[in-house]
Amino acid sequence: MAKKFIIEGGRYLKGEIRIRGAKNAVTKQMVAALSAPGKSVLTNVPEIGDVEITRGILASLGCVIEHRQDEGVLEIDAANLSTPVVPRQYSGLNRIPILLAGVLLHRFGRAGIPMMGGCDIGPRPVDFHLEGFRALGADIEYRDGAYHFTAKRLRGARVTLPFPSVGATENLMMAAATAQGTTEIRNAAIEPEIVDLALFLQGMGAIITQETDRTWSIQGVDSLHPATHRVINDRIEAASFAVSAIATRGDVLIRGADQLHMLTFLNWLRKAGGEFEMVEDGIRFCGMHSKLKPIAVETGVHPGLMTDWQQPLVILLTQAEGMSVIHETVYENRFGYAETLNRMGARIQLYSECLGGRDCRFRQLGHKHSAVIMGPTPLTGAHIEIPDLRAGFSYLVAAVLAKGRTEISGVQYIERGYDRVVEKFRQLGVPISVEQS
């Protein structure tokens, strides 16, 4: 049944919420648990669709999983895996199947991975993953809509990624943990969620060193053992609510927001006029007296401004006085959601040039990857359809700001990545009604 959110706008967010474990960490750690026969335990697990999808994938491979949602505990028993082939039904639901290549090779010497999908934000190829596995000695064949990997045991190698891809770094890190010899992943991603994966793997017995200059060095071990790990908090969830508080001129204490992992975001928020203060267990964001100012910023890999912070930030900038520029350098097609915001009254124009900063790898390729936002613009309620997860959250914030009623469909995208989102908005004084149709 399709679900809709209905919001009467013109409100502000006030109160307190708690952030939970990061979507982009927990799902990878669920995969890593398969490296060791036995029961691994993850805590601080969020209640999101992506955990459920990943749980389905793992169960289809023979894992026995217990998820105690209220406690945020996930027990994954990977003692008796039954197949190295990910069923086709999981292709296209999220980005997880390709990340199983290394752990399934370790357990079976082969892996069958259907072509995958995720949000509709560009082509999202897997060539870096495949090249990396070839360098580690895997044979890969593509047939009948799936990649088939084989390798008795992977061998350590030096792999230089063409771009610091999060998924390719994680995939190769998990594969290298039990390869023979040492692997170096250069030009690698170093996002906090990847460090958190390295910590979990270390708990399982892996030897992983973070070198300078975006290099991970992994000394392979013969086997890993089960472990218990607390998932890092979700810095995207924290930033999304932070921006919502400021844009709506509200006042929200976000427990679990971690300054260490939000340094870049907080700097840009401050430059845009957003006010915040650190408290014992989180950060309080207060927009009641903020004078919002325009900024020119580009997204980038860590420690740059995350591409997943871009969409909520755009909403904030629709309320700032003057012209802002955002240059998206991670994905070529991540402004598709702007048209709907324009329908609600925003003034956002997209350009294929690299605006406001350095040239990026999308220069002259014709992708509309720069946005100019004119503000402040009042927004008005509308009927809107969500195209992807992060855009979806932005639409929610736009709806809270907008005058009148907004009906949002496609909410399964939001629920894939945001823990108990309706409950959290209600807790902050915004009554979202949920309709099934």
Q: Which is nearer to ligand EPU, 239 or 295 (CB)?
A: 239
Which helix (DSSP H) or strand (DSSP E) does residue 182 occupy?
strand 182-186
SS3 state at 196? helix
Nearer to ligand EPU, 34 or 320 (CB): 34
Nearest to 197, CA basis, from 222, 175, 179, 219: 175
- Rounded to the nearest whole angstrom, what is the least distance from the CB of residue 257 to ligand EPU in the complex? 17
Q: Show the site string, 236-265: x = touches ligand EPU by CB under 6 A, - = not.
A: ------------------------------
Q: Which long-range contacts (CB under 8 A, 24 or more apart) does 258-267 make?
A: 258/232, 258/233, 259/283, 260/192, 261/192, 261/232, 261/233, 261/235, 262/235, 262/238, 263/303, 264/303, 264/304, 264/305, 264/306, 265/235, 265/239, 265/305, 265/306, 265/309
Cα(349)–Cα(334) distance, integer angstroms: 13
Query: In angstroms, how far is the first alpha carbon of the chain from the final one?
Result: 6
> What secondary structure letter does DSSP report for 29?
H
Residue 279, Cβ neighbours under 10 Å: how many? 12
Residues numbered 337 to 356 that lie near ligand EPU (CB under 6 A) are none
**Measured CA distances, 382 to 237, 392, 404, 432 (Å):** 24, 14, 8, 15
- We find the least distance from the C-beta atom of residue 11 to ligand EPU, in angstroms, to be 25
Nearer to ligand EPU, 93 or 402 (CB): 93
The CA distance from 414 to 386, in Å, is 8
Q: Which is closer to ligand EPU, CB of 142 or CB of 163?
A: 163
- Among 13, 177, 198, 389, indicate the residue that binds ligand EPU (CB under 6 A): 389
Nearer Cβ to ligand EPU, position 33 or 292? Answer: 33
Where in 10-29 is the site for ligand EPU (CB under 6 A)? 23-24
CB-wise, 47 or 251, nearer to ligand EPU? 47
184 or 191: CB nearest ligand EPU: 191
- Is residue 211 a contact residue for ligand EPU (CB under 6 A)? no
Q: How many residues bind ligand EPU (CB under 6 A)?
A: 24
Q: How many CB atoms lie within 10 A of CB 381?
A: 21
Of 189 and 286, nearer to ligand EPU (C-beta) is: 189
Of 119, 286, 354, 360, the catalytic one is 119
106, 107, 284, 390: which one binds ligand EPU (CB under 6 A):
390
List the structure tokens of 393. Answer: 């959250």
Torsion of CA 243, 248, 252, 258, to 10 degrees: 0
Near ligand EPU in 300-339, by CB under 6 A: 307-308, 330-331
Instruction: Please state the closest distance from residue 273 (CB atom) to ligand EPU, in A.
Output: 26
Residue 132 C-beta: closest distance to ligand EPU, Å: 8
The yes-or-no answer on residue 119 being catalytic is: yes
Neighbour count for residue 144 (Cβ, 10 Å): 8
Which residues touch 103 (CB under 8 Å, ≥6 apart)?
A: 31, 32, 34, 35, 174, 175
Q: Interface with ligand EPU includes 417 (CB under 6 A)?
A: yes
- Residue 183 CB, nearest approach to ligand EPU (Å): 17
Residues in 151-210 that interact with ligand EPU by CB under 6 A: 163, 165-168, 189
Q: In a 3-state reduction of DSSP, which class is residue 42?
A: strand
Strands (DSSP E) contained in 282-404 are 282-286, 296-298, 322-327, 347-351, 370-375, 383-385
Q: How far is the CB of 50 from ligand EPU (least distance, A)?
A: 7
Q: How far is the CB of 265 from ligand EPU (least distance, A)?
A: 13
CA 105, 108, 112, 117 dihedral sign is: negative
Our CB check for ligand EPU shows the closer of 154 and 168 to be 168
Q: Shortest gap between Cβ of 308 and ligand EPU (angstroms)?
A: 5
Do residues 273 and 291 touch, judged by C-beta distance below 8 A? yes
To ligand EPU, the closest distance from the beta carbon of 141 in angstroms equals: 17
What span, in angstroms and rounded, lies between the C-alpha atoms of 263 and 265?
6
Residue nearest to ligand EPU (CB): 167
Of 91-150, which residues contact ligand EPU (CB under 6 A)? 95, 119, 122, 124-129
User: Does 55 help bind ligand EPU (rule: CB under 6 A)?
Assistant: no
Q: Is 429 exposed, middle or buried (0-12, 13-18, 19+ CB in 10 A)?
A: middle
Binding residues vs ligand EPU (CB under 6 A): 23-24, 95, 119, 122, 124-129, 163, 165-168, 189, 307-308, 330-331, 389-390, 417
Cite the active site residues: 119
